[in-house]
Structure 1
Amino acid sequence: MIDKLEFIIALARERHFGHAAEACGVSQPTLSAAIKQLEDSFGVLLVHRGSRFQGFTPEGERVLDWARRIVGDTRAMHQEIDALKRGLAGHIRIAAIPTALGMVAILTTPYRAKHPDVSFSILSRNSIEVLGLLENLEVDAGLTYLDNEPLGRVQTVPLYNEEYRLLISSDSPLGKRDSVTWAEVGKVPLCLLTPDMQNRRIIESLLRQAGAHVAPTLESDSIIVLFAHVRTGRWASVMPAKLAAVLGLTDTVRAISIVEPEVTHSIGLVVPHRNPLTPLINALVSEARLLAPILSGGDLPSMPMGKRDKKSRSTDRSL
């Protein structure tokens, strides 16, 4: 039965019978037969069929919902029993929005110091994709916005408030300022994240409220691409304050507070709404709760990265 439920989840994820079968390591006839057996056992159609996958019936959506719960609980049971035998060990998959990627190490580094037999995969995704991956059991946790769009059925741990800074050359007309307004930011040629990113939608909304026209000179789904352009001293961008601190500024680039209005958005850890959580994720939630008071206070935890930052700043000055 669990295998059949895994097939349903894979079909929801892939939206294609052949791709779902490939993801599950079975043939397409095997997957189709398993879903037909589920339909026979429930006495209802679960999937709209045609020349291709056309979606789930209302009954199929309910079965999918239960499948995610049952498969998630089954994985949690296996992991808990394994933890009792071997201690905390395994693999954690985390999806994070681009503006939070620089903060992931602050969570994973102390976690692995306590649990050295745990490894990680970190994915960069937009906020909608983070929630979709979590719902389909493709990742175990996410770092995303908590207060700007509906989150659905998840548990959350607020970590810090995202504040915004104008990253700009110190030689520019605004480069010597302590603060700028959103209206002033709107007059600067900007490089920004692509429109599918929630950070971009937030910035666009703030600029429009200030009466500015949004027309970035460069777009990318990579923060590294944006930061690399800003570091040339010939581009400007809007980035979260903590991200700018993690990436490290050079002598030629400043991070200037943006006011009128001063806006913040909550960033936090999201995990499945399940009780009990798997041992690995329960430990991750505990680590996030330890970090939250430090991050919300405006400070970054002291970690070995401090030495790297110093070296990085030295390298920056030599460029």
Structure 2
Amino acid sequence: MELRQLRYFAKAAETLNFSDAAKALNIAQSSLSQQIKQLEDELNVQLFLRNSHSIRLTEAGEEMLPFALRTIHDAETCADRIHDLQKLLTGTLNIGITYSFSPILTETVISFMKMYPHIKLNIIYRPMSELMELLAKRDLDFVLAFKPTKPVADVESHILFQNSLSAIVSSTHPLASKDKVTLAELGKYELALPSKGLQARNTFDSLVTTYNDFQIRIELNEVNILLKLIRQTHLVTVLAEDSIYNECDVKAVPLDIPDNEMIGCVHILKDTYHKHSMKEFIRLLSESLIVKKRQNSWI
């Protein structure tokens, strides 16, 4: 039994499609099928039920999957420890980030790449729920996102900074001159909101459950497009204040409602090995200008 065969088996079990698994592994489908067949022959069991359209795990396959995943994880942990012993001269760091965190990342990425030029960074943008699933599967080393409304099992959330949920408007918008915006004032304008499921939208919806007089004109899951719309129209969106860091011609005006803070966090798995490269990246992020600025603004 080879580690490669276990990786192929695990990916096929995840996708339930040999073609998709082969593409994800960047190998020929025939090679994947051959290796899985060899694994089945060695174990003298059938791991997948196959037909012309799909595959599914047999009872033996279901039984074997958690052990295969544990073996793969242990092998990767062994490799990570060796890489760390090489003083961050090689390796890969997998980072998950929500769209709202994008503005705070650039400074740290540039600094990290200069200091550790041989460490590859894989940065994945997804909604928080998807990122937490990837973290649980150990496909990510850590996640940058706001604190969830409910604790996530087996995940530690370490606070980076606090932020305000704000109305985001163009610099020429009537609301741009205000220090705060009430819900009644927000209700006078058409809104372009982030899609349901994104953290800013989830927080906003949880805070305005008793107020329904909003004119929601459009919903988008892409912050950059939202900001383009805001710049060119009198639409208003609602995002975390730091979502417009280094953005021109837009302004964040905090919402005048209780408990509108959004707490920026680093989310990591409990009781698992944490790469030195991850700790170093988080250290640099904590010392970055934008994070320091946000920390000082709440002191």
Fold match (TM-score > 0.5): yes
Give the corresponding residue for 2:101: 100
User: Residues 200 and 238 of structure 2 are in contact (CA less than 8 Å); yes or no, is this contact kept in structure 1?
Assistant: no
Structure 1 residue runs without a partner (length 5+): 301-319
User: Which residue identity does 1:256 align to in structure 2?
Assistant: V
2:130 is aligned to: 129
Which residue type is aligned with residue 236 of structure 2?
Answer: A
Structure 2 length normalisation: TM-score? 0.79
Matches of 1:157 and 1:174, distance apart in 2 = 34
- AA paired with 2:258? P
Q: Where in structure 2 are the equivalents of 1:130-279 lying within 5 Å?
A: 130-149=131-150, 151-169=152-170, 171-207=172-208, 209-213=209-213, 215-244=215-244, 246-250=245-249, 253-273=250-270, 275-279=272-276
Closer, same or farther: CA 255–5 of 1 in aligned 2, 3 Å: same
After superposition, the Cα gap between the structure-2 partners of 1:69 and 1:234, relative to the gap in structure 1 and judged at 3 Å, is same
Contact 1:88 1:279 (C-alpha < 8 Å) held by counterparts: no
Which residue is equivalent to 2:292? 294
Q: Is 1:10 equivalent to 2:11 in the alignment?
A: yes
1:308 corresponds to which residue? Answer: none
User: Which string of whole-angstrom CA distances, capped at 9 and with x for unpartnered residues, describes residues 60-107 of structure 1?
Assistant: 566444444432332232233244346433332322111111112244
The separation in 2 between residues aligned to 1:265 and 1:45, in whole angstroms, is: 50
- Cα pair distance change 1:49/1:199, threshold 3 Å: farther
SS in structure 1 at match of 2:95: strand
Contact 1:166–1:256 at 8 Å: present in 2 too? yes
SS in 1 for 2:190: coil
The residue identity in structure 2 corresponding to 1:231 is: R
Partner-residue secondary structure (3-state), 2:32: helix
The DSSP-based 3-state class of the residue aligned with 1:11 is helix
- State the number of aligned residues: 296
- Deviation of 1:273 after TM superposition, in Å, equals 4.1
Greater alpha carbon shift after TM alignment, 160-169 vs 212-221 = 212-221
Q: Deviations over 1:99-152 (max 9, x none)?
A: 111112244344334433334232221112212333444443321233225534
- When residues 132 and 45 of structure 1 are mapped into structure 2, their CA distance, relative to the original with a 3 A threshold, is farther
Deviation string 1:256-278 (CA, Å, 9 cap, x unpaired) is 11022232233322334453223
Higher mean C-alpha deviation, range 215-224 or range 278-287: 278-287
Amino acid at match of 1:147: P
Taking a change above 3 Å as real, the CA distance of residues 49 and 231 of structure 1, as seen in their structure-2 partners, is same
C-alpha root-mean-square deviation of aligned residues, in Å? 3.5
For normalisation by structure 1, the TM-score amounts to 0.75
Q: Deviations over 1:141-187 (max 9, x none)?
A: 32123322553434433222342111224554433321112343233
The whole-number CA distance in structure 2 between the counterparts of 1:153 and 1:40 is 37
CA, structure 1 residues 81+92, in 2 after alignment: closer, same or farther (shift >3 Å)?
Answer: same
SS at match of 2:185: helix
The question of whether the paired residues in 2 share the 8 Å contact of 1:130 and 1:144 is answered with no
**Residue pair 1:162, 1:267 contacting (<8 A) in 2 also:** yes
* Partners of 1:25 and 1:295 in 2: CA distance: 43
- Confirm or deny: 8 A CA contact 2:155 2:268 kept in the other structure: yes
**Per the alignment, do residues 107 and 288 of structure 1 end up closer, same or farther by CA in structure 2, a change over 3 Å counting?**
same
Counterpart of 1:247, as a letter, is N
> Unaligned stretches of 5+ in structure 2?
none
Amino acid in structure 2 at the alignment position of 1:271: I
1:199 shift after superposition: 2.6
Q: Contact 1:158–1:269 (CA<8 Å) still a contact in 2?
A: yes
1:76-91 alignment, distance < 5 Å: 76-85=77-86, 87-91=88-92
Identity %: 22
| Secondary structure, aligned partner of 2:122 | strand
| Distance change >3 Å, CA 175–CA 26, structure 1 → 2 | closer
The CA deviation string for residues 195-241 of structure 1, in whole angstroms up to 9 with x for no partner, is 3423323323333x241245532332221111112122522211211
CA distance in 2, matches of 1:183, 1:57: 58
